[in-house]
Structure 1
Amino acid sequence: MTDTSSTTTLICGSLAFDKIMQYHGRFSEALIADQLHKVNVSFLVPTLHTEYGGCAANVAYNLMMLGGDPLIMATLGQDGGEYLARFAELGISTRAIRTIGHAYTAQCFVTADQDNNQINAFHPGAMQFSHENNVADYGPLRVALIAPDGRDGMLKHASDCVSAGVPFMFDPGQQLPMFNGEELRDFIDKATYVAANDYEFEMLMERTGWSADTIAGQLDALIVTRGEQGSEIFANGERMMIPAVPASAVVDPTGCGDAYRAGLLFGIANGFDWGTTGRLASLLGSIKIAHQGGQNHRFTAAGVAGQFEQAFGYRMQ
């Protein structure tokens, strides 16, 4: 099912609504330290807004603006019609998105106080049925991403990619704690690429019992992001440092990792070298962080090409 003439990127991961609420006081003033075993509090939240979220949607959104060909394979709930309409407006294919009629779309409820402390609750909803999707139904494909999703779905889609001969990037993200060492070693054995932030990568090494060199030695590329310190790419027996691109403003890190991964996938699908691929990914993360939410920033492929040349002194190709 792999087709090197195709640039279609299958994106397996979550679709979610993020409900953002703002409490104008401090949580600490409503919580009594010696009574935390029987908490019963209510916070008045005068402001509430909804953001479109989920790793799969965030990655696809960035990849679409780059001129890539993203294909989201994910699950929505009975309340997902609004998201499908958004994808149609953006020109992102929905043919691999399954609606689970007896569930709600995954939702994250975030309440922040005036000090930006947060209390979060996450309802996985339809995401728990992601294993009902099959990679083999949606070829031909150039590459796939297995991003945070339902546990069973992530396991199944890794096996599906191997069976279909589709190279894939394993990006466990916040779902990494769901898997034990044996399962993580199996993901790495199957994957062509692994991407993680520095904290996740430390956990990955701890759980697998493998060093960075051992993990990198089993992959075409290992990518580790380190925030404002840039990122590292281990490929072809070498360790490459990718510089961070200074942002015009630091507003919200939500979705920066997804924007970065979109750059990686675009580079892979188009045959860029790893230095260029990593620098493109870094630039997209910088563009995203200057905007609130995971899908409110805008750019064009031509604009990114110009910013790339300005930041790195050569043309992206």
Structure 2
Amino acid sequence: MQILVSGSIAYDRIMSFPGSFSDHIIPEKIHMLNISLLVDGLDEKFGGTAGNIAYALSLFSEKPVILGTVGKDFDVYEQWLTKHGVALDGVKRIDSDFTAGAYITTDKSNNQITWFNLGAMKYSCDYDFSAVDTENTLAIVSPGNLDDMQNFPETYRQKGISFIFDPGQNIPAFSGEQLLGMIKGCKILVANDYELEMIMKSTEKTRAELMELCESIIVTLGEKGCLVVEKDGETAVPAAKASVVEDPTGAGDAFRAGLIKGLSLGKTLVESAHIGAVSAVYCVEKLGTQEHSYTEDEFWARYKSSFGEI
């Protein structure tokens, strides 16, 4: 099965501030804020929704195709993805701009200040779908370029390509009407519980009404696992047990990769969500969204110890 993964491709630049932000902010002067903070160092990690999902899929020996845009500084990231068998023929390079980047500073109280530079992500990837085997393709639309997020669902509907819609942090960028247009006809709407509330508020639709537009909904619940909502009922899927929790960032993307792997194997949605849960737990045990790894034998052994035979 061909897997198309659209979304962001970004560098995560993570900094640690040894103090507390609150010690450097004068509340009565917030209208003219001007501060400079010295950080302990900077770690650069590969990230972005499409990059994370595609990397996690590569651990299952899949060769997903990323649809997205990158900038003139993409070379190192390109080598990493190519090394892991990720297809980049759907990636468009914008030589006049930088690859999207998140600049994240965390203080000693775990407060965060994040700046996100869209960079090349401002541009649509303009992917040519003419050669896609529509009957043997599964796509996921994850947060990325706004035009692509809005246009790809319509393309997939027209071509009969099964797709997952995952609006994530870009929900506020769309009107309720636009969100309904993107959700319509998707195989799965995936969102965490807060995001689903945002979608329902923006669209003025209940969860039951949203179910009339899509085949199913998966509500992720962090350490509590997820809820799989189908036409004939709902099933709670627990999270897999972590040996240590280092960083939950990227766990949602890893979950989506496991979910897609399960669907590609012909598993039920609930079985696929269990696979997603195991994929996610590997991610939370490492600092960074693409730092975890495993062999397929190791993965299925852990799956068995977590949930039994599939």
CA distance in 2, matches of 1:267, 1:215: 24
- The C-alpha deviation readout for 1:204-259, integer Å capped at 9, x for no partner, is 11111111122123322210001111111112421111111111111101100000
CA distance in 2, matches of 1:306, 1:267: 15
SS in 2 for 1:44: coil
CA distance in 1, matches of 2:130, 2:29: 53
The residue number in structure 1 matching 2:219 is 224
**Cα distance change of structure 1 residues 98 and 139 upon mapping to structure 2, 3 Å threshold:** farther
**Cα distance change of structure 1 residues 256 and 41 upon mapping to structure 2, 3 Å threshold:** same
Query: Quick check: 2:241–2:306 contact (8 Å CA) kept in 1?
Result: no
The residue number in structure 1 matching 2:97 is 103
The residue number in structure 2 matching 1:306 is 301
CA distance in 1, matches of 2:298, 2:213: 36
- The C-alpha deviation readout for 1:170-219, integer Å capped at 9, x for no partner, is 00010111011101111111322110011101101111111112212332
1:166 aligns with 2:161: yes
Count of paired positions: 309
The residue number in structure 2 matching 1:284 is 279
Between 1:23-32 and 1:138-147, the stretch displaced more is: 138-147
1:71-110 → structure 2 map (5 Å cutoff): 71-110=65-104
SS in 2 for 1:247: coil
Query: Quick check: 2:218–2:226 contact (8 Å CA) kept in 1?
Result: yes
Structure 1 length-normalised TM: 0.94
Residue from 231, 236, 243 that aligns with 1:241: 236
1:142 aligns with 2:130: no
1:181 aligns with 2:176: yes
Query: Quick check: 2:63–2:85 contact (8 Å CA) kept in 1?
Result: no
**By how many angstroms is 1:134 displaced?**
3.6
CA distance in 1, matches of 2:205, 2:251: 27
Residue identity matched to 1:29 = D
Residue identity matched to 2:275 = L
Residue identity matched to 1:8 = Q
Residue identity matched to 1:306 = A
Residue from 101, 106, 113 that aligns with 1:112: 106
**By how many angstroms is 1:139 displaced?**
4.2
Query: Quick check: 1:136–1:164 contact (8 Å CA) kept in 2?
Result: no
CA distance in 1, matches of 2:189, 2:44: 31
Q: How large is the RMSD of aligned CA atoms in angstroms? A: 1.3
1:15 aligns with 2:9: yes
Query: Quick check: 2:183–2:213 contact (8 Å CA) kept in 1?
Result: yes
Residue identity matched to 2:155 = D
The residue number in structure 2 matching 1:124 is 118
1:67 aligns with 2:82: no
Structure 2 length-normalised TM: 0.96
SS in 1 for 2:270: helix
1:202-217 → structure 2 map (5 Å cutoff): 202-217=197-212
**By how many angstroms is 1:69 displaced?**
3.0
**By how many angstroms is 1:118 displaced?**
1.0
**Cα distance change of structure 1 residues 97 and 183 upon mapping to structure 2, 3 Å threshold:** same
Residue identity matched to 1:181 = G
In structure 1, list runs of 5 or more residues that go unmatched: 1-6
- The C-alpha deviation readout for 1:147-168, integer Å capped at 9, x for no partner, is 0011111111112212221111
Between 1:82-91 and 1:197-206, the stretch displaced more is: 82-91
**By how many angstroms is 1:131 displaced?**
4.6
Residue identity matched to 1:39 = L
SS in 2 for 1:309: helix
Residue identity matched to 2:279 = L
CA distance in 2, matches of 1:133, 1:104: 20
Query: Quick check: 1:171–1:194 contact (8 Å CA) kept in 2?
Result: yes
CA distance in 2, matches of 1:11, 1:76: 14
Query: Quick check: 1:263–1:277 contact (8 Å CA) kept in 2?
Result: yes
The residue number in structure 2 matching 1:27 is 21
Identity %: 33
SS in 1 for 2:184: helix
**By how many angstroms is 1:264 displaced?**
1.1
**By how many angstroms is 1:138 displaced?**
4.5
Query: Quick check: 1:131–1:154 contact (8 Å CA) kept in 2?
Result: no
Query: Quick check: 2:185–2:213 contact (8 Å CA) kept in 1?
Result: no
Residue identity matched to 2:249 = T
CA distance in 1, matches of 2:129, 2:144: 14
